[in-house]
């Protein structure tokens, strides 16, 4: 090729400085060619590796598309159209994978092989010749220097012959090596052009062959298929954009409407009133778990009602677990030392107590109302929410006196009380007293209701306080008397777990319907004023008095002398509700009468029977312990089967005295016998 400089091989024997300078230029050019060739080799090798990776990836893609039918997607159904479309794509991509494999083989033969040969063979050969030439040149210089140092005075033929032979050998070796080195450098000027053009020519020919092969495989049929798929993709994209737009509108609307509920507290109770008609509810609550005798921890769980059960479920759990049964349970708001908005759910048998914390007061009241509705089994009806609304509306209207009671009778007829125990059912057929007495005759309108436990005001208690003050003895502020000898010696001690619902003053203590009316008034007032808290106490029944004892401190909260208890009764439908009436003065027709309503874990009739038994033992206080024990044993057996269904027990003095007289006659008969 004209214009290419070359090294003069004829001047290798002379080895002039000009020849050495020209050799240095060729060596510098060889180094530049070697560096550039290495970079070009790396770039072409990347193309080859990428093509191999593309061929393998294409084959893997085709295999995955064929296995689409074997996949089980949780949200994807059996889409036959999608499956068939992917199978067609798998067929096309499999053919393309074969084309890519052919292209990889052509690139290896036509592109990588020529440049690899130039890099590994030609360039390395020149580097080897350069090292050999450098060694031969150094040996020649050493031999010439030794020859030039031969002494003229001490001429030795043998030494001179060795030096001459050494110069001959080194010069010949240098000359031959230099000629081959110059030849390789001159040849490199041609090889560098072919080594760059041949790989590029092979690359282009391989690509053209690949495109021709792909054009043969992608016929007009595949072009129509791809056009149809493109149209389907555009339709799906438009549907997606429409769905995204709707979701964005929903997000903006919810952000505007839910801005007030982001705060955990209730900023405006009037804006979001408490819904008391719920029979199902779910949400996050904190549950208190005991970690020791006196220590506890709070854990946040997701709670939901399922039928008559309260369930909880933690994050990451597949299903929820049962917390407690809500049928016939009791729920009330409680105060916690370290938490707010707490409420307590007690099972129907009182064995399991669950303490929960809501996020706000509204949420707490809704949970309490929902559990109350479930405990009444309202959820079993067809229209549960409508029935709950009617029940709550009835509770609200219950505090308004009905005009029909005011206009039923114009005259008041005296009520006859028999000598024996009068027993009737509360809430069943109207009694004679209810038919003649209006609501005003039982409970005075606008009578305040006491929802917390307070000590009763009676002349007996005030007299005791005065006598204790005069004698210099300090009275117990919690209602305990100083002298408890008679109470400790009492033969009857029965303890019940009760919860105080409320108390209010009544106009009459004689009517058996006064307790049922008081129950209705107190329960309705609690529902209207959102009062769910109930104070739990232990009711101790003795022969002298009734005591309400704090279960934690064992301090007596209230003490009711047994002589002031006029009557007690339980509710007909809810057996756990009971109450009794206290007469603060000695006379039954005069003075202040107060009715106390409680909820118990036991049957209310049992508590009423226990109070009646205590009254009988108190009136037979002159009997010895053996006779009192017989009386307790006789009272534990049902003497009158027809009275087992009763709920009201009138504790009259005449009844007790007549019973006492009957017992004395019986004792005399036994002694005579």
pLDDT for 499-543, tens place per residue?
Answer: 899 998 888 887 878 898 898 888 888 877 777 778 888 899 988
Distance CA 306, CA 281 (A): 9
Last residue of a domain, one of 579, 598, 622: 622
Q: 159 and 292 share a domain?
A: no
Tokens at residue 189, please?
A: 């000027």
What domain range is 536 assigned to? 493-622
Percent of all residues in the chain with a pLDDT value above 90, rounded to a whole number: 27
- Cβ atoms within 10 A of the Cβ of 601, count? 17
**Residue 265: Cβ within 10 Å count:** 10
Report pLDDT for 619.
74
- What total number of domains does the chain contain? 3
Is 550 within a domain? yes
Q: What does the pLDDT read at residue 421?
A: 33
pLDDT per residue as tens digits for the range 179-192: 999 999 999 989 88
For residues 67 and 151, membership in a common domain is answered with yes
Average pLDDT on 110-131 reads 91
What's the pLDDT band for 639 if we cut at 50, 70, 90?
very low
Domain membership of residue 411 (yes or no) is no
At 445 the pLDDT is 60
- pLDDT, residue 391, reads 73
pLDDT exceeds cutoff 70 at 346: yes
What is the rounded radius of gyration, in angstroms, for the C-alpha atoms of the chain?
Answer: 55
Place of tokens 């009676």: 458
Distance CA 90, CA 67 (A): 10
What CATH number should be reported for the domain holding residue 377?
Answer: 2.30.29.30
- Average pLDDT along the chain: 77
d(CA 522, CA 35): 101
Higher pLDDT, 643 or 613: 613
Q: Which residues contact 86 (CB under 8 A, 6 or more apart)?
A: 65, 68
Q: Which helix (H) or strand (E) holds 449?
A: strand 449-450
Give the least confident one: 1-10, 143-152, 165-174.
Answer: 1-10
By residue count, the chain amounts to: 673
**Lowest mean per-residue pLDDT among 47-61, 175-189, 319-333, 644-658:** 644-658
Summarize the confidence of residues 156-171 as an average pLDDT: 89
Residue 525 belongs to what H/E stretch?
helix 514-528
Of 319-323, 559-563, 614-618, 620-624, the range with the lowest mean pLDDT is 620-624
Helix and strand totals (H; E) in the chain: 17, 16
Check if the beta carbon of residue 178 is closer than 8 Å to that of residue 133: yes
Higher pLDDT, 167 or 622: 167
Task: Give the 3-state secondary structure of residue 101.
Answer: helix
Spatial distance between the Cα atoms of 61 and 96, rounded to a whole number of angstroms: 11
Write down which residue in 383, 417, 451 finishes a domain.
383
Considering only CA atoms, which of 396, 350, 297, 312 is closest in space to residue 551? Answer: 350
Residue 303 has a CB neighbour count (10 Å cut-off) of: 21
Q: Which residue has the higher pLDDT, 635 or 170?
A: 170
pLDDT at position 273 is: 80
pLDDT of 1 > 60? The answer is no
d(CA 427, CA 463): 39
Helix, strand or coil for residue 277?
Answer: coil
Which structure tokens are listed for 193? 């052009």
Residue finishing a domain among 588, 603, 622? 622
Q: What pLDDT, on a 0 to 100 scale, did the predictor assign at position 585?
A: 62
For residues 197 and 293, membership in a common domain is answered with: no
212 and 336 together in one domain: no
pLDDT at residue 33, rounded to an integer: 92
CB-based contact 85:92 (threshold 8 Å): no
Look at residue 147 and tell me if it is in a domain.
yes
Of 560, 573, 558, 561, residue with least CA distance to 516: 573
Residue 512 has a pLDDT of 79
pTM of the entire structure? Answer: 0.43
472: alpha, beta or left, given left = phi > 0 and alpha = psi -120 to 50?
left
**276 within domain boundaries:** no
- Helix 157-217 × helix 17-66 angle, to 10°: 30
Q: Are 23 and 107 in the same domain? A: yes
Indicate whether 641 pLDDT > 60.
no
Residue 305 has what pLDDT? 93
Contact call for residues 539 and 598 (beta carbons, < 8 A): yes
Which segment of 16-20, 567-571, 618-622 scores lowest on mean pLDDT?
618-622
| pLDDT for position 440 | 55
Q: Residue 647 domain-assigned?
A: no
Nearest CA to 7 out of 229, 210, 179, 223 is that of 179
Query: Are residues 141 and 62 part of one domain?
Result: yes
CB atoms within 10 A of CB 275: 16
294 and 197 co-located in one domain: no
The residue among 621 and 637 whose pLDDT is bigger is 621
Q: CA distances (Å), 318 to each of 62, 285, 286, 312, 313, in order? A: 36, 18, 20, 11, 8
Co-location of 199 and 296 in the same domain: no
Per-residue pLDDT band for 441 (boundaries 50, 70, 90) equals low
22 lies in the same domain as 131: yes
Measure the CA–CA gap between 14 and 175, rounded to whole angstroms.
Answer: 9
Q: Is 672 within the bounds of a domain?
A: no
- 668 — pLDDT class (breaks 50, 70, 90): very low
pLDDT 10s digits, 212-260: 887 777 766 677 778 888 888 899 899 999 999 999 999 888 888 777 6
The answer to whether 595 and 581 have CB atoms below 8 angstroms apart is: yes
Any idea which of 126-140, 183-197, 471-485 has the lowest mean pLDDT?
471-485
Q: How far apart are CA 176 and CA 182, in angstroms?
A: 10
Element (H, E) at 357: strand 353-357
Give the pLDDT score at 406.
36
The verdict on residue 53 lying in a domain is yes
Are the beta carbons of 533 and 633 closer than 8 angstroms? no
Under the banding of pLDDT at 50, 70 and 90, the label for residue 31 is: very high
What angle do helix axes 220-257 and 80-107 make, rounded to 10 degrees? 120
> Do residue 140 and residue 61 come from a single domain?
yes
User: Any idea which of 184-193, 279-288, 588-597 has the lowest mean pLDDT?
Assistant: 588-597
Beta pairing partners, 650: 567
How far is the C-alpha of 149 from the C-alpha of 506, rounded, in Å? 148
Say what the pLDDT of residue 28 is.
92
Q: Kindly state whether residue 439 falls inside one of the protein's structural domains.
A: no
Rounded Cα gap, residues 195 and 30, in angstroms: 14
CB 581 within 8 A of CB 594: yes
The pLDDT assigned to 507 comes to 83
Q: Is 188 exposed, middle or buried (0-12, 13-18, 19+ CB in 10 A)?
A: buried
What mean pLDDT is predicted for residues 152-178? 87
- Is 50 exceeded by the pLDDT of residue 22? yes
């Amino acid at each position: 090729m004209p214009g290419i400089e070359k090294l003069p091989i004829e001047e290798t024997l002379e080895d002039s400085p000009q020849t050495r300078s020209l050799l240095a230029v060729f060596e510098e050019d060889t180094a530049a060619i070697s560096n550039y060739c290495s970079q070009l080799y790396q770039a072409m090798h990347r193309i080859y590796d990428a093509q191999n990776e593309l061929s393998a990836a294409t084959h893997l893609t085709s295999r995955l598309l064929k296995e689409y039918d074997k996949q089980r997607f949780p949200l994807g159904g059996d889409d036959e159209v999608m499956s068939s479309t992917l199978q067609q794509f798998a067929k096309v991509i499999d053919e393309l994978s074969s084309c890519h494999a052919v292209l990889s083989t052509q690139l290896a033969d036509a592109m990588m092989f020529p440049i690899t040969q130039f890099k590994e063979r030609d360039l390395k050969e020149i580097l080897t010749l350069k090292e050999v030439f450098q060694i031969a040149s150094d040996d020649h210089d050493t031999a010439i220097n030794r020859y030039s140092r031969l002494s003229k005075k001490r001429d030795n033929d043998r030494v001179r012959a060795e030096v001459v032979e050494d110069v001959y050998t080194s010069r010949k070796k240098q000359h031959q090596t230099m000629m081959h080195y110059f030849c390789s450098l001159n040849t490199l000027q041609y090889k560098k052009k072919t080594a760059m053009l041949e790989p590029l020519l092979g690359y282009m020919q391989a690509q053209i062959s690949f495109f021709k092969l792909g054009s043969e495989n992608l016929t007009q049929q595949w072009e129509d298929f791809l056009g149809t798929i493109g149209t389907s993709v555009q339709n799906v994209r438009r549907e997606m954009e429409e769905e995204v737009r709707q979701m964005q509108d929903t997000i903006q609307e919810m952000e505007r409407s839910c801005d007030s509920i982001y705060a955990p507290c209730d900023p405006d109770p009037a804006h979001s009133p408490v819904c008391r008609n719920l029979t199902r509810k779910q949400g996050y609550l904190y549950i208190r778990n005991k970690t020791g005798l006196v220590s506890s921890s709070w854990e946040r769980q997701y709670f939901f009602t399922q039928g008559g059960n309260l369930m909880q479920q933690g994050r990451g759990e597949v299903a929820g677990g049962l917390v407690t049964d809500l049928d016939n349970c009791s729920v009330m708001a409680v105060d916690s030392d370290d938490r707010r908005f707490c409420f307590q759910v007690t099972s129907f048998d009182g064995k399991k107590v669950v303490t929960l914390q809501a996020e706000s007061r509204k949420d707490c009241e809704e949970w309490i109302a929902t559990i109350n509705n479930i405990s009444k089994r309202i959820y079993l009806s067809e229209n549960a929410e409508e029935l709950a609304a009617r029940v709550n509306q009835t509770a609200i209207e219950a505090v308004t006196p009905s005009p029909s009671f005011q206009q039923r009778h114009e005259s008041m007829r005296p009520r006859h009380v028999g000598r024996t125990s009068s027993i009737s059912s509360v809430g069943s057929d109207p009694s004679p007293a209810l038919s003649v007495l209006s609501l005003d005759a039982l409970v005075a309108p606008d009578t305040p209701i006491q929802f917390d436990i307070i000590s009763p005001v009676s002349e007996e208690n005030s007299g005791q306080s005065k006598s204790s003050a005069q004698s210099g003895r300090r009275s117990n502020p919690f209602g305990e008397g100083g002298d408890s000898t008679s109470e400790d010696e009492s033969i009857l001690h029965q303890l019940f777990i009760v919860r105080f619902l409320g108390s209010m003053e009544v106009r009459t203590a004689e009517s058996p319907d006064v307790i049922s009316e008081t129950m209705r008034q107190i329960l309705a007032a609690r529902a209207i004023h959102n009062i769910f808290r109930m104070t739990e106490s232990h009711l101790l029944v003795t022969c002298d008095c009734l005591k309400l004892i704090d279960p934690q401190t064992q301090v007596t909260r209230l003490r009711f002398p047994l002589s002031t208890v006029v009557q007690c009764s339980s509710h007909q439908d809810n057996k756990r509700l009971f109450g009794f009436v206290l007469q603060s003065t000695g006379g039954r027709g005069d003075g202040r009468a107060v009715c106390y309503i409680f909820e118990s874990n036991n049957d209310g009739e049992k508590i009423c029977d226990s109070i009646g038994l205590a009254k009988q033992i108190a009136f037979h206080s002159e009997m010895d312990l053996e006779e009192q024990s017989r009386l307790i044993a006789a009272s534990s057996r049902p003497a009158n089967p027809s009275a087992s269904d009763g709920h009201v027990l009138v504790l009259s003095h005449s009844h007790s005295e007549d019973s006492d007289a009957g017992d004395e006659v019986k004792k005399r008969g036994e002694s005579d016998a």
